[in-house]
A and B are shown apart, each in its own frame.
Chain A
Amino acid sequence: GDSVTQMEGPVTLSEEAFLTINCTYTATGYPSLFWYVQYPGEGLQLLLKATKADDKGSNKGFEATYRKETTSFHLEKGSVQVSDSAVYFCALSRTGGGNKLTFGTGTQLKVEL
């Protein structure tokens, strides 16, 4: 079945540091890939997405590129801020799946001054 594996946290960074959160997936066909973010006490919200190979999703300084050859969708940001502290979830949705999302376990990011 479908699965998403992402790096375990928590990840603690200093403000302005570079961020990478690794995400790899297993799925048949051509899934769409997503990063969702969960701020403390809130529900999940879409951060970015990519729907085909080599697509790059970007939002709020975050980027991720859909790499079919390595089945990866790593999240990156060049300079993190304290306000980026949250839990980040990698997810996939597959054709014919009714837009059901398969999530990774989540990576908690803490950014300190």
Chain B
Amino acid sequence: NAGVTQTPKFRVLKTGQSMTLLCAQDMNHEYMYWYRQDPGMGLRLIHYSVGEGTTAKGEVPDGYNVSRLKKQNFLLGLESAAPSQTSVYFCASSSEGGVRTEAFFGQGTRLTVV
């Protein structure tokens, strides 16, 4: 039972470097999400996707880009990392967009930008 898998689990970047976080789900879910978790702020939505080939902005999208070329994968890109992007990033997926639907989360990626 893989569920939602995030790669990598840890990463340290220098300011200005770029990287891509990969999220893969094996539950055939339509909806996928990227959140960031910061101390004292809970989780905040960065971007989300309602199906293959679609993306939309969430609450804090600046400095990030996403792509959903395949239904099972949702990529989060940082083109030019900044210290303010130091955070724990969580990917999630759900089978549909209904309010009653449970979201399944990955184990997180801890990113430090120095």
- In the complex with contacts A42-B107, A43-B106, A98-B31, A104-B99 CB distance below 8 A: no
Q: Which of B62-86 contact A (CB under 8 A)?
A: none
Q: Which of A53-77 contact B (CB under 8 A)?
A: none
- The answer to whether A95 touches B107 (Cβ under 8 A) is no
Cα distance A49–B99 when bound, in Å? Answer: 11
Residues of chain B within 8 A (CB-CB) of A51 are 99-100
Total interface residues on A, using CB and 8 Å?
A: 25
- The answer to whether A43 touches B107 (Cβ under 8 A) is yes
Cα distance A43–B92 when bound, in Å? Answer: 9
CB of A101 within 8 A of chain B?
yes
Query: How would residues 36 to 58 of chain B score, 1 for a CB under 8 Å from any chain A CB and 0 otherwise?
Result: 00001111110010100000101
CB of B111 within 8 A of chain A?
no
- In the complex with contacts A89-B43, A98-B48, A43-B90 CB distance below 8 A: yes
- The answer to whether A103 touches B50 (Cβ under 8 A) is no
What's the nearest-Cβ distance from chain A to residue B57, in Å? 11
Query: How would residues 34 to 51 of chain A score, 1 for a CB under 8 Å from any chain B CB and 0 otherwise?
Result: 001000011111100101
Residues of chain B within 8 A (CB-CB) of A41 are 107
Cα distance A43–B4 when bound, in Å? Answer: 10
- The answer to whether B99 touches A93 (Cβ under 8 A) is yes
What's the nearest-Cβ distance from chain A to residue B29, in Å? 10
Residues of chain B within 8 A (CB-CB) of A4 are 42
Q: Which of A15-35 contact B (CB under 8 A)?
A: 31-32
Cα distance A72–B47 when bound, in Å? Answer: 28
- The answer to whether A43 touches B105 (Cβ under 8 A) is yes
- Interface residues of B, Cβ cutoff 8 Å to A: 4, 31, 33, 35, 40-45, 48, 50, 56, 58, 90, 92, 94, 96-108
23 residue pairs A–B, Cβ–Cβ below 8 Å: A31-B99, A32-B100, A43-B4, A43-B90, A43-B106, A43-B108, A44-B43, A44-B90, A44-B92, A45-B104, A89-B42, A89-B43, A93-B101, A95-B99, A98-B48, A98-B56, A99-B97, A99-B98, A100-B45, A101-B45, A104-B42, A105-B41, A105-B42
- Interface residues of A, Cβ cutoff 8 Å to B: 4, 31-32, 36, 41-46, 49, 51, 89, 93-95, 97-101, 103-106
